[in-house]
Structure 1
Amino acid sequence: MKNLFALVLLTFCFACGNDPVPKPKAMLRLEYPDPTYKKVDIPLPFVFEKNAFADPISKIKLDGVNNIYGVDINYPELKGTIYLTYKKVEKDNLTKLLRDAQNLTQKHTIKADEIDSRVYENPKQKVYGMFYEVGGNAASQSQFYVTDSIHHFLSGSLYFYTKPNYDSIYPAAVYLKNDIKHIMETIEWKE
């Protein structure tokens, strides 16, 4: 009788519950501030607009002999930096500058799942170039170059201070990709 009572009690205890349901996969929700852009007019051969979320530009690297300038736009909260490199177009070096910028992107094909390229043209400001979005665990998720084909050449790359893990850095990569596009769209050459 005790065994029958225990069996009935166990049946009631376990039969009254809901069926187990697996928990849905959770995604980390990262929110960044809406961008506010301000014009950066520092001693460079060009001006552009930068997101106020980035640190102020504190230093410019200059190689006056070769007319090369370097500017780092740091985003400490995103653990990323957009590196800009300006080179003066001289005599017959435009082809080399274009090839070097394209080769830099192609070096990421080993780790990249895909590389999406988009032509950029702004005839009013005489700014022409290419934007590359690199998918996968590559070292750089976005790269670009712009030029006026006569005097100015600017290239840029996005790098994070972490081992590339595309799933983890994706929200920050998208946010900074939009900043890079805005930089491209607001370039004005100083003649």
Structure 2
Amino acid sequence: MRKTILLLIAIIMISCGEATTPKPKAYLSLEYPELGYNRLGIKKPYNFDVAKNTKIKYLPQSWLKIQYPKLKASVDITYRPINDNLKELFVEAEKLVIEHTVKADHISWRDFSNKENKVYGKMCEIAGNAASQIQFHVTDSTKHFIKGSLFFYVKPNYDSILPAVAHIKKDMIRMMESLQWEN
């Protein structure tokens, strides 16, 4: 019994050292190129600014894939002409966002309006491990409709890709703000 008590006292004495302190939060050391933009400059029904560090893949039907090779991501742009189908285009665009509710923790919408260039739409941010974290759609309400979606070429882990999402979000906002319709 004495040995057990002595052993317990010894363990308590040895374990009583300096108080442990929690480690500070660690942040990823990701480096992004400085923001710089070029005009898309192609013969499409639209034109906008794109980040200098991207590669543009031209697709049929005036669609684009704006690739971010270092971030393993792309912004997919789909263009659709309006032919008495504006309501269907809105429903389709918003339906694609709603499909992410299964994996999303939160979805927030932000209206966008540029009366000078006749560009009206919404940007949607999807928090969580969804396939696409940011989507937008814009239109002039009479002839043109564009949808943009951010995708990463990896299994979504929202906490890990959040800094890259924030970086590309700035580029997507710039696309919307600089968008002009070509007639």
Scaled by the length of structure 1, what TM-score is found?
0.84
| Equivalent residue in structure 1 for 2:68, among 51, 69, 75 | 75
* Matches for 1:129-168 after TM superposition, within 5 Å: 129-168=121-160
Match of 1:188 in 2: 180
* Matches for 1:51-130 after TM superposition, within 5 Å: 51-55=51-55, 57=56, 59-62=57-60, 68-90=61-83, 92-130=84-122
The whole-number CA distance in structure 2 between the counterparts of 1:144 and 1:21 is 45
For structure 2, the residue ranges without an aligned partner over 5 or more in a row are 1-9
Residues 154-189 of structure 1 show CA distances to partners (whole Å, capped at 9, x for unaligned) of: 000000000010000000011011111110111000
For structure 1, the residue ranges without an aligned partner over 5 or more in a row are 1-9, 63-67
Scaled by the length of structure 2, what TM-score is found?
0.88
Segments of 4+ in structure 1 off by > 4 A?
none
Q: RMSD of the TM alignment (CA)?
A: 1.7
CA shift for structure 1 position 25: 3.2
The whole-number CA distance in structure 2 between the counterparts of 1:26 and 1:93 is 49
Identity of matched residues, %: 45
SS of the residue 1:105 aligns to: helix
The whole-number CA distance in structure 1 between the counterparts of 2:21 and 2:101 is 41
Match of 1:29 in 2: 29
Residues 3-30 of structure 1 show CA distances to partners (whole Å, capped at 9, x for unaligned) of: xxxxxxx9xxx79x64333322322132
The whole-number CA distance in structure 1 between the counterparts of 2:100 and 2:18 is 50
The whole-number CA distance in structure 1 between the counterparts of 2:166 and 2:21 is 33
The whole-number CA distance in structure 2 between the counterparts of 1:88 and 1:19 is 67
Residues 128-162 of structure 1 show CA distances to partners (whole Å, capped at 9, x for unaligned) of: 00000110111100000000010100000000000
The whole-number CA distance in structure 2 between the counterparts of 1:27 and 1:125 is 40
The whole-number CA distance in structure 1 between the counterparts of 2:141 and 2:133 is 25
